Structure 1
Amino acid sequence: MLTLLTDEQQMLKEVAGEIAGSAGLANPSDLTSRNWAATWQSLAQSGLLALRTRDEDGSPVGSGVEVAVVAEAMGAGLVPVPYLGSAILATELLCLAGADDDAARLAEGTARAGVLLNRDLSGLARFPADGMVYGWDVDGAEEALALTDSPEGPRVVRVSLADGFVPAVSADLTRRLLRSDGPIDPARLTTVGRPLTPEDLLRWEALALAAVCADVVGVMRSALAKAIAYAKERVQYGVLIGSFQAIQHMCAEAYVAAEAAASATSYAAWAVDALDPADALLAGWTAKAQCAAVARDVTETVMQVFGGIGQTYEHIAHVHTRRALMDSLVFGDENALLLRIADVRLTGE
């Protein structure tokens, strides 16, 4: 499949890149010294928070491809705002449930919401749940969304994050992770909108996978670009380190791995709207397995190219690796997803 962006999508890519570039992290200290509320407002004013709201015909304003374009830009800039959690995953759930007014508030940037994931972060939390759940990418969010079973089918529920949750230790420094301090009391669940169909859930998961994959592709591409630029400037033993064959091979292998993941992600993003839900989900699993399998190697290669400075906390390289590691776990790593793919391929179910 040849991936070509339309003129409008190319413009979207440029706008997202400009916002992410101006708001992106230059070093870890930016996490606590920058005004991220202003970045959120820039995303809202440019319409990037509204991509998954519905138009008058009930169709998403932005396609899966357009979501992936913006998500990749956010990943490339390591932008520490809950774009995936609020603008994509929560908004899509609300729209699928017919809660368009709630989704509109998220799109306007006047409210934020996140999603609750199960204990191993492999999927959306579903109540009644026995153990703890995690709120992922919930910076500034007052509530998070999950599912509950009902006689009519799965229903979206909102859970307040004001109490019953504590900060969780996370490798990713750019996204807020909360952990429930025990099982969630059913009385805290508020049902939202109408029941979801099985197709709704498949389509939502396909979108979620494509968006997370796009984020990690942005992380890998950006990290590798920085390493290559450094290799063209750093002099050691009187010559540029980019002239060393070992460095060239490391960068070349990392580039091939990152671009293979990008290709699989492009297909998964296109499949969200173009294929039937089951095939779209299979494409998402395939892309996520590909991304998760290479994300750590690519970003750790970048740390090696930077040498000693790349191992320090003050350098940006480890922030790329940390975000890539968390992205690899969310909605399943390569081991879990390859098993799911094998089940589908071998059983036809």
Structure 2
Amino acid sequence: MDFDLNDDQRLLKDSVERLITDKYGFDQRRANMAAPGGWSRTMWAQFAELGLLGLPFAEEHGGFGGGPVEAMIVAEAFGRGLVLEPYLATVILGGGLIRRAGDAATQASLLPQIASGELLLAFAHVEPQSRYELHNVATIARQDGARWRLEGDKGVVLHGDCANKILVTARTAGSTRDRTGIGLFLVDVPGEGVSVRGYPTQDGLRAAEVSLAGATGIPLGDPANALPAIERVVDEALAFLAAEAVGVMAAMHASTVDYMKQRKQFGRAIGDFQALQHRAVDMLVLLEQARSMALLATMMVAEDDPVERHKVAAAAKVQIGRSGRKLGQEAVQLHGGIGVTMEYMVGHYFKRMSMIEILFGDADTHLAQLAEGSGVLEAA
């Protein structure tokens, strides 16, 4: 199978990597984190100018018509730079949900605003009881004349404190864990009945707790059957996160090897010791295993069969989670005490890797899903 990039993809790769190298050094990232909202509006405008914000959208919506490979290229570069801006929340999740669930008028209205950098979105699906189940929804949506009123609480809404609109999952029928009766609603922020409390996450990004008390929501598509579109977009997000994780792991590995060449012990660089060389090689093996699964997940994003698509996404999440945890532990240990300081980058990479591991389900959760899907647990 040919994994070579075409000319346009190579140009995109060169452009985004150059941007991250030039504009996203350690000190620049720290300055961006200290900016209002925890990220840089200037960088967001540069992403828009480069076409990154409209990358997955059709040309008639102000986009470039890019596919999964283009998203993978951007994700890996963002992983290397530990980008703070709400690309996953706004473009991949928010924009993806509008593409998959919204009607033509909604797409024509909102997607160009995302591509230009004007509109920021967030996806609110996590609830106190839901853990990693997308269909576990207790938030209620009731029709009130021509409006829908939403009641409930959502947690860990990525970049929810800066979003202009939040896409909220809410139940219009059935019980809490039914797969039917789930709608997706657009809620304006600020708005009546909407309370948002933002906070930093351990990797330096932002999230929010969102409370809805009679908030007005506009349904995207069928208000009782949004789950298939949501699951598809989350599979796309898993592929994006897998590629981002590869970028994070590659940076940790490169930083560790470089440090081993410079750090001296007993008059010699520690990289001269064979035992440490073996550990660095083990890190490379973990990285390449993760890269292979990230490529497979990217290839399967366009698969229409939801079962087959999610199997690969889940398998990638298992490998990414396990590789990332072990590689990160090795990177920190081989750096020694400096590896856990705020003044050195490798610890920040490990924090981001830890957050990627648990987003939309950790390795154990996805391994259990794979076992259930293959019939292993039923047979046992």
Report the TM-score when normalising by structure 2: 0.82
Q: 1:217 offset after TM fit, Å?
A: 1.4
Q: CA RMSD in A?
A: 2.8
Matches within 5 A, 1:309-320: 309-320=338-349
1:140 to 134, 158, 162: 162
Deviations, residues 236-285 of structure 1 (Å, cap 9, x unaligned): 22111111123212211111112111110111111111453331221111
Alignment: residue pair count: 344
Deviations, residues 163-206 of structure 1 (Å, cap 9, x unaligned): 52223462211x101123xx532x21412432266643342122
* Alignment-mate amino acid for residue 10 of structure 2: Q
Matches within 5 A, 1:224-263: 224-263=253-292
Structure 1 segments unaligned to the other structure (5+ residues)? none
1:38 to 28, 42, 56: 42
CA–CA distance in 1 between the matches of 2:245 and 2:81?
A: 11
| Map of 2:120 onto structure 1 | 112
2:183 to 135, 147, 155: 155
Deviations, residues 210-248 of structure 1 (Å, cap 9, x unaligned): 011111111111121111122222222211111112321
CA–CA distance in 1 between the matches of 2:111 and 2:56?
A: 9
Secondary structure in 2 matching 1:133: strand
| Map of 2:132 onto structure 1 | 122
2:206 to 176, 179, 190: 176
CA–CA distance in 2 between the matches of 1:305 and 1:76?
A: 19
| Map of 2:5 onto structure 1 | 5
Deviations, residues 4-61 of structure 1 (Å, cap 9, x unaligned): 322221221111211222232415733445772111111111111112223459x981
CA–CA distance in 2 between the matches of 1:60 and 1:273?
A: 17
For the pair shown, the structure with the greater C-alpha radius of gyration is 2
Q: Given that residues 165 and 186 in structure 2 are in contact (C-alpha distance below 8 angstroms), is that contact kept between their aligned partners in structure 1?
A: yes
| Map of 1:338 onto structure 2 | 367
CA–CA distance in 2 between the matches of 1:192 and 1:270?
A: 31
* Alignment-mate amino acid for residue 156 of structure 1: L
Secondary structure in 1 matching 2:187: strand
Higher relative contact order (CA 8 A, sep 6+): 1
1:205/1:263 CA distance change after superposition, 3 Å? same
* Alignment-mate amino acid for residue 325 of structure 2: R
1:209/1:60 CA distance change after superposition, 3 Å? farther
Q: 1:146 offset after TM fit, Å?
A: 2.4
* Alignment-mate amino acid for residue 297 of structure 1: K
CA–CA distance in 1 between the matches of 2:353 and 2:82?
A: 10
CA–CA distance in 1 between the matches of 2:4 and 2:305?
A: 21
* Alignment-mate amino acid for residue 9 of structure 1: Q
CA–CA distance in 2 between the matches of 1:266 and 1:154?
A: 32
Secondary structure in 1 matching 2:166: strand
Is 2:56 the counterpart of 1:52? yes
| Map of 1:71 onto structure 2 | 75
| Map of 1:17 onto structure 2 | 17
Secondary structure in 1 matching 2:360: coil
Is 2:249 the counterpart of 1:220? yes
Q: 1:160 offset after TM fit, Å?
A: 4.3
CA–CA distance in 1 between the matches of 2:286 and 2:154?
A: 35
| Map of 2:144 onto structure 1 | none
* Alignment-mate amino acid for residue 235 of structure 1: K
1:143/1:134 CA distance change after superposition, 3 Å? farther
| Map of 1:201 onto structure 2 | 230
1:62/1:154 CA distance change after superposition, 3 Å? farther
Is 2:65 the counterpart of 1:61? yes
Please identify, of 236-245 and 122-131, the stretch whose mean Cα deviation from structure 2 is larger: 122-131
Structure 2 segments unaligned to the other structure (5+ residues)? 141-150, 174-179
Secondary structure in 1 matching 2:357: helix
Secondary structure in 1 matching 2:262: coil
1:223/1:64 CA distance change after superposition, 3 Å? same
Report the TM-score when normalising by structure 1: 0.88
| Map of 2:146 onto structure 1 | none
CA–CA distance in 1 between the matches of 2:376 and 2:252?
A: 39
